[in-house]
Structure 1
Amino acid sequence: MQDKKHVLLKIFISTLYLSAFTFGGGYVIVTLMKKKFVDEYHWIDEDEMLDLVAIAQSAPGAIAVNGAIVVGYKLAGLIGAAVSIVGTILPPFLIISVISLFYTAFRDNLLVSQMLEGMQSGVGAVIAIVVYEMAGGILHEHNCLSNVIMFAAFTASCIFQVNVIYIILICGALGILKISYQRRRTSAS
């Protein structure tokens, strides 16, 4: 990897850019982070990115910030996490500050409200792409347990309306059991 200052600058500029020009919330920015850090820079591999997204989703708070924290930490430690946090929260902070000054004008502006309403379809498409790519990555592993867990979590959430917290806790417990089983099996060999 390049020298640390160069990496930190790239992390800051990338997270600043992604945060400034992304509409639709955390899942959209996480997809774009994957494209930037996995596909373009090749700093993280795809499986690692899936793990980082899982960590970001399970932590409390905004997924965009959590995603930036875990990616920044993975790439450059605590300084990388701090730099990515600043890069991620700076654009929304500035935009919200400006909007709050002109809130009444924005609230009543028909053009602005229609533009934001139109962006919803684009956001939906980007989220669908994220789901497709993440599910495809799991399915291509040909790991039966991972596939069963993914479909069970989807079914529990979408069909049976199980609280996502319970799904995360159960999946975390299954992950711990799987890792401890694999370690026992490795140490027995």
Structure 2
Amino acid sequence: MKRDHTLYFRLFSSTFLLSAFTFGGGYVIVPLMKQKFVDQLHWLEEQEMLDLTAIAQSAPGPIAVNAAILLGYRVGGPLGAALSILGTILPPFLILSVVSLFYTAFRENRVVAAVLKGMQAGVSAVIASVVVDMGGDILRRREWLPTAIMAGSFLVTLLWDGLNVAWILLVCALLGITATFAAQRRKEGSP
């Protein structure tokens, strides 16, 4: 992909608009990034976006910012990473700056409270869409370990009330690492 000023402008403007008009945090913006950069612009493959999302989720910090850094670097190198992170953090910074000026008025406004309550349904729908898309991809691959990890994580979350999600992530990471090393050993041992 040729890196020129058009690519960089499009990268910045895309991340800026996604961040400006996405409500609900990183788990909402990631599927919109997939739709924009995989489905519309074809800058990444779907598996590549899933891998970037997994890395962004496991790294410390907000997932939206981590995903923007990785995506920007993949598409446009260091300058792309800088522009995509700027595009991602600038809208919330500006919005929160304005909100902080009028905090008391917003806090006590029933219309604002009702709008925020209504947005929760939209956020839930987007998160459900991500779960269905990613879960469907795992099931389509017909690999037993990822399917078992997905089903087991879901069941443990439902059945074990109060379990810290970090334990689930740790167990899943250990299973994934073990499976990866085992597959690598089998590959090295085969002729």
Specify the TM-score bucket, using the shorter chain as the normaliser: over 0.9
Q: CA RMSD in A?
A: 1.5
Instruction: Verify: 1:175 aligned to 2:182, yes or no.
Output: no
* Superposition deviation, residue 78 in structure 1: 2.7
Letter in 1 for 2:165: V
Letter in 1 for 2:122: G
Count, aligned residues? 189
After the TM superposition, which segments of 4 or more aligned residues of structure 1 sit over 6 Å from their partners? none
The alignment's TM-score, normalised by the length of structure 1, stands at 0.93
How does 1:59-78 map onto structure 2 within 5 Å?
Answer: 59-78=59-78
Equivalence for 2:167: 166
CA deviations 1:89-147 (Å, max 9, x no partner) are: 00000000011111111112221111111111111111111111111111111111110
The alignment's TM-score, normalised by the length of structure 2, stands at 0.92
For structure 2, the residue ranges without an aligned partner over 5 or more in a row are none
Calculate percent identity across the aligned residue pairs. 56
Please give the alpha-carbon distance, in whole angstroms, between the structure 1 residues aligned to 2:91 and 2:108: 23
Cα contact 2:3–2:76 (8 A) shared by 1? no
Please give the alpha-carbon distance, in whole angstroms, between the structure 1 residues aligned to 2:170 and 2:6: 38
Letter in 2 for 1:163: N
Letter in 1 for 2:35: K
Tell me the secondary structure at the aligned position of residue 60 of structure 2.
Answer: coil
Cα contact 1:157–1:163 (8 A) shared by 2? no
Please give the alpha-carbon distance, in whole angstroms, between the structure 2 residues aligned to 1:132 and 1:146: 15
Equivalence for 2:154: 154
CA deviations 1:133-183 (Å, max 9, x no partner) are: 111111111111110011112222232243221222222222222222222
Equivalence for 1:133: 133
CA deviations 1:50-100 (Å, max 9, x no partner) are: 111111111222111122122112222332222111110000000000111
Cα contact 2:13–2:87 (8 A) shared by 1? yes
For structure 1, the residue ranges without an aligned partner over 5 or more in a row are none
